Structure 1
Amino acid sequence: MKLTFPHMGYSYVAFKALINELGYEVVVPPEPSKRTMDLGVRYSPEFACIPFKVLMGTYLETIEMGAEMAISSGGVGPCRAGFYGVMHQKILNELGYDFEVLIFDPPQSNYLDFIKKLRRVKPRGMSWRVFIELIKKNYRKLEAIDQIEYLMYRIMPYEINKGDTYRAFNNALSMLDEARTKEEIEDALWEGRKIIARIPQDRSRNPLKIGIVGEIYVVLEPAVNFYIQRTLGEMGVYTDRSIWLTSYTQKNVIVEGKIGEHDIHQMAHPYLNELIGGHGINSIGETVIYAKQGYDGMIQLAPFSCLPEIMAKGIMPRVSREVGIPVLTIFIDEQTAAAGVITRLEAFLDLLKRRREEKAQETCNA
């Protein structure tokens, strides 16, 4: 059987390895492109959000590449993401494709269903012990990918030669891609971190610091958010995003009850004390946390028509005013253009620079 999965950042390296080691033929989804978007828009409901449309386009592209089944995650709560799998399957069936979308919802919502679907993926003849070990090993590879990407964004605003850090990151990612055993993964991570850390840097710089919050897919998929973290990094901005795939998995899948998000919800409570689905409450709480950590500004990334993020945006002006941090909200859909995003980023950075200078002047005059 030929299996595929949604493209989300650099996670494809780990998912590709896992599917191969399970003995299936893997169809690696292409990075979302204009064609992906065109296909998704053509066959999706008009007011579906951009993650739905991108996934729709991705499934159609991988079907052309021979894929027979896609494995994806679901969701619970008010967010419409919980219905994506059902809708994608219905549309693909109506188009006449013999293709299955297998959705794994968080196990806490239905343990029996989760185990039943694991049984479908586990190859016959493979023991549960070996199956679980393969998942754990490739989850470690996923953690390593997150770690080197995290380091890349830490180094990028200090790099002397523009583009060095991204090239070093790609070298490190290639080493992780080639790693097969646990030991090789750890060695590749160690070497990759050294390669990135050796980039010539100017540590005398004092870059602007921007936190990034929002809906998980548009935050994690660079091709959808116009490579915003890399763009800001190469503009000399220090960025930190609130969502990483492995930390999200730990908080929402592996650990029951979203342990680890208590502080975020506590910070959001004065402004929003109801779970509104998606990452709406997180966007509020994490903005407060970033402000307390001394960040200069915030960027909220959201799909156009995403109700949780629309609600969060409505609350953001009060949060911004009370905790003293400017917030730029960017809604993304198929009409959004890179040039427009860059223009807004440049204007936002100018605002933050002036604000920092004014604060410094006030301190001198005090």
Structure 2
Amino acid sequence: MRITFPQMGNTCIPVKAMLDDLGLNYEIPSFNTPRSIAEGARIAPESACLPLKANLGNFIQAACRGADTVIIPGGCGPCRFGLYSEMHRQILKEHGYDMDILALEIPRKNPQEFIRRIRILTGETKLFEILRIASRFVRIAGRMDALEQQVRLKRPRENDPGKADRIYAAFRRDVFSRRGSQEILALIRKTRMEIASIPELSCAAPLRIGIVGEIFTNIDQETCLHLEAKLGRMGVEVHRPITLSSWIQHHMIRKALHLPERRECITASRLYMGAMIGGHARETVGNSVLFAKQGFDGIIQTYPLTCMPEITAQSILPSVTRDLGIPVMTLVLDEISGEAGFQTRLEAFTDMLMMRREQGTIKLTGRTAGDEKK
């Protein structure tokens, strides 16, 4: 058995550490590129969303290198992500790629099936060791999210433009030569120290923009045309609450333990969206409300073309703008999204935000869910 998995930002780094610790053979696909996405789009249904096409491109690449088994998380709700595992299996088989698909989804009715799938990967590894490896996986995911946020904060403030990105790019190259969770954690610590040591401009007062939307186009910077780096080079401080570690915590751990949702963003969304409709739609609306109340200059929503939950969220965001006075720009992405128009829209949006700041028109507060009852 030679395992592979879909690429989504830096998700491959904690997954690599976990597979190293388990002693399994694996094949890591390259980070997503226009070529690999086009390869997936070639065999995907035309109306399929961008993440499915990108995943198929990853699996084709890995299959050509000898991978025969795919591990992929599961999903629920109207978002089509919950159907991906079966869609991948059928599409790959139709095009001559005979790969086993293991969907690691927390079951609602049959926990034995989930345990069986885990045992396919772990073999005779003892339960205690499995839990230790899982704990290290979660820890590395959290450290990676912290590293990414450190880079986002450093970009608009560094007095040597591009240095943080150069250190970060070197990390993403070097990490694949490390073996196991301990070596990877050590490299993360070293990289964070290097970034922290970069001198900062004393007079920096960057615009603050919050990123919301569908998780794949939020996390995978190759797919969203390096949105965060582009904004950072324009002198913008970027915040993105949708992360791998938050997804693990809220959609895997809390779901497995049947714990209720008590996140601030879910509470903040209730005035505008009273029910879970799939994907990250509630997080999109709720985080937009929170960004407005925290005095952010603007919000950018990203999602793949045809994403049903985010289309619904997009239709609600004008109400957030009206009530709380925060501008929102939506970027819809697919395999033919172009750099030039993308860059032009970002520049126009940030110029508008700077003009608003200079004119003092930012509205910091607005109505809350409690106001609806008054």
If the length of structure 1 is used for normalisation, what is the TM-score? Answer: 0.92
**Residue number in structure 2 paired with 1:123:** 123
1:23 positional shift: 2.2
Matches within 5 A, 1:1-366: 1-107=1-107, 110-124=110-124, 126-172=125-171, 187-256=186-255, 257=258, 259=260, 261-359=262-360
CA contact (8 A) 1:225 1:332 kept: yes
CA contact (8 A) 1:218 1:301 kept: yes
The amino acid across from 2:37 in the alignment is: M
CA contact (8 A) 2:20 2:181 kept: no
1:183 positional shift: 5.9
Q: CA RMSD in A?
A: 2.1
1:5 positional shift: 0.7
Cα separation, partners in 2 of 1:107 and 1:144, compared to 1, 3 Å? farther
Cα separation, partners in 2 of 1:13 and 1:265, compared to 1, 3 Å? closer
CA contact (8 A) 1:172 1:195 kept: no
* Post-superposition CA distance 1:187-206 (Å, at most 9, x none): 44443222111112103111
- Between the aligned partners of 1:5 and 1:182, the Cα distance in structure 2 is 18
**Residue number in structure 1 paired with 2:368:** none
1:330 positional shift: 0.4
- Between the aligned partners of 2:191 and 2:227, the Cα distance in structure 1 is 23
1:186 positional shift: 5.3
1:272 positional shift: 1.2
- Between the aligned partners of 1:106 and 1:168, the Cα distance in structure 2 is 37
Moved more, 205-214 or 333-342: 333-342
Cα separation, partners in 2 of 1:81 and 1:258, compared to 1, 3 Å? farther
* Post-superposition CA distance 1:236-274 (Å, at most 9, x none): 100001211011110111113565653212211111112
Cα separation, partners in 2 of 1:327 and 1:149, compared to 1, 3 Å? same
Q: Does the residue aligned with 1:135 lie in a helix, a strand or coil?
A: helix
CA contact (8 A) 1:209 1:238 kept: yes
Unaligned runs of 5+ in 1: none
- Between the aligned partners of 1:165 and 1:108, the Cα distance in structure 2 is 44
- Between the aligned partners of 1:75 and 1:271, the Cα distance in structure 2 is 24
- Between the aligned partners of 1:306 and 1:355, the Cα distance in structure 2 is 31
* Post-superposition CA distance 1:217-247 (Å, at most 9, x none): 1101011000101111121100001211011
- Between the aligned partners of 1:57 and 1:180, the Cα distance in structure 2 is 26
- Between the aligned partners of 2:259 and 2:234, the Cα distance in structure 1 is 35
Unaligned runs of 5+ in 2: 364-374
CA contact (8 A) 1:171 1:192 kept: no
Q: Does the residue aligned with 1:25 lie in a helix, a strand or coil?
A: coil
The amino acid across from 1:118 in the alignment is: I
- Between the aligned partners of 1:239 and 1:53, the Cα distance in structure 2 is 27
Moved more, 278-287 or 30-39: 30-39
If the length of structure 2 is used for normalisation, what is the TM-score? Answer: 0.91
- Between the aligned partners of 2:362 and 2:337, the Cα distance in structure 1 is 37
Q: Does the residue aligned with 1:274 lie in a helix, a strand or coil?
A: coil
1:149 positional shift: 1.2
1:136 positional shift: 1.8
Q: Does the residue aligned with 1:298 lie in a helix, a strand or coil?
A: strand
- Between the aligned partners of 2:358 and 2:41, the Cα distance in structure 1 is 44
1:341 positional shift: 1.0
* Post-superposition CA distance 1:310-365 (Å, at most 9, x none): 01111111111111100000000122111111111000001101111111799xxx
- Between the aligned partners of 1:323 and 1:42, the Cα distance in structure 2 is 43
* Post-superposition CA distance 1:87-113 (Å, at most 9, x none): 110111112222112111135575333
CA contact (8 A) 1:214 1:309 kept: yes
The amino acid across from 1:272 in the alignment is: M
Moved more, 270-279 or 99-108: 99-108
CA contact (8 A) 2:17 2:180 kept: no
Q: Share of identical aligned residues, percent?
A: 35
1:17 positional shift: 2.4
1:24 positional shift: 2.0
